[in-house]
Amino acid sequence: MDEYDRIDAGIYDCYATGVSGDVAFYVDQAKRSGSPVLELGCGTGRILIPVAEAGVEVVGIDRSPSMLAVAKERVATLNSEVRSRIELAQGDMRDFSLGRRFGLIVIPYRSFLHLLATDDQRAALGRIREHLGDAGRLVFNVFDPRLDLLQQSTGGGSELRKLAEFTHPQTHRRVVGWYASSCDPLRQVIEQYNVFDQMDDQGTVVARQYVPLTLRYVFRYEMQHLLELCGFKVDALYGDFERGPFRYGGEQVWVAVKR
């Protein structure tokens, strides 16, 4: 089972709210490129829907049926004109073939980090290159690893930290989410353990959900070499969604074109 299918996809949007400024940035990228845009790892449609609302046709691919089910529910509530600009399909970014090319391919919200092995990363970049038009752009973001945080969670795992607190959209109970991370520097992998407690009015936990998430972090020059190895040229690397300079420990926002 895909790790995102272990998440209660119905609560995903309550705590996974993106990186500051990302929606406006990706919508702007989409408006500049025009239709159609491809989003890999589109999840519940957090970026895809605003792109379509901005008048751009968008195809969203995701590996997880339950995340796609939430995206489809959300799309069904949109007006028919916006809906007609959206296509959703289950698929894996390492192995997809749509038989068409795009002026823009995006991988928002660090989804590239779900590629856990070099072969997976190279396979995805190969498929992306194949689906990009000659003047097309690949735009994506990943977090820039902070050595102090990695070290804190190496050899046993970090302490439990609060992730989010919200009202469950279906049960209307209070939910508190917690997480702890464990880093394996040899594999460059972080295992994040998310725990969601649903409580009744007395504060008694009536349901607990445990959701592991595995990420392979990438360093700045590793990403640059990987892009170049896979036939891309770096057009820009920003440190945030306001197009600020790259800074250690912030965000890596990449814009790459075909070499």
29 binds ligand SAM (CB under 6 A): no
Applying CB under 6 A, which of residues 27, 46, 49, 52 lies at the interface with ligand SAM?
46
Q: How do strand 58-62 and strand 86-90 relate by DSSP bridges? A: parallel
d(CA 49, CA 27): 10
Q: Which is nearer to ligand SAM, 155 or 212 (CB)?
A: 212
Give the closest residue to 226 by CA, choosing from 131, 129, 155.
129
- Over the window 173 to 212, marking each residue x when it contacts ligand SAM by CB under 6 A and - when it does not, the resulting string is ----------------------------------------
d(CA 164, CA 179): 9
Q: Which is nearer to ligand SAM, 50 or 154 (CB)?
A: 50
**Residue nearest ligand SAM (C-beta atom):** 43
- Over the window 108 to 147, marking each residue x when it contacts ligand SAM by CB under 6 A and - when it does not, the resulting string is xxxx--x---------------------------------
43 binds ligand SAM (CB under 6 A): yes
Question: Peptide bond preceding 185: is omega within 30 degrees of 0, i.e. cis?
Answer: no
- Over the window 71 to 110, marking each residue x when it contacts ligand SAM by CB under 6 A and - when it does not, the resulting string is ---------------------xxx-------------xxx
58 binds ligand SAM (CB under 6 A): no
CB of 111 to ligand SAM, least distance (A): 4
CB 163 within 8 A of CB 177: yes
d(CA 204, CA 21): 37
Applying CB under 6 A, which of residues 11, 25, 56, 64 lies at the interface with ligand SAM?
64
Report residue 63 as tokens.
């590996």
CB of 109 to ligand SAM, least distance (A): 3
**CB neighbours of residue 59 within 10 Å:** 23
Report residue 254 as tokens.
């990449």
Question: At residue 90, what is the residue type?
Answer: Q
52 binds ligand SAM (CB under 6 A): no
CB of 207 to ligand SAM, least distance (A): 22
Could you list the beta-strand ranges (E) of the chain.
Answer: 37-40, 58-62, 86-90, 102-107, 132-143, 161-167, 174-184, 189-199, 205-216, 232-238, 251-258
Which residues lie near ligand SAM (CB under 6 A)?
2, 4, 18, 40-43, 46-47, 61-64, 67, 92-94, 108-111, 114
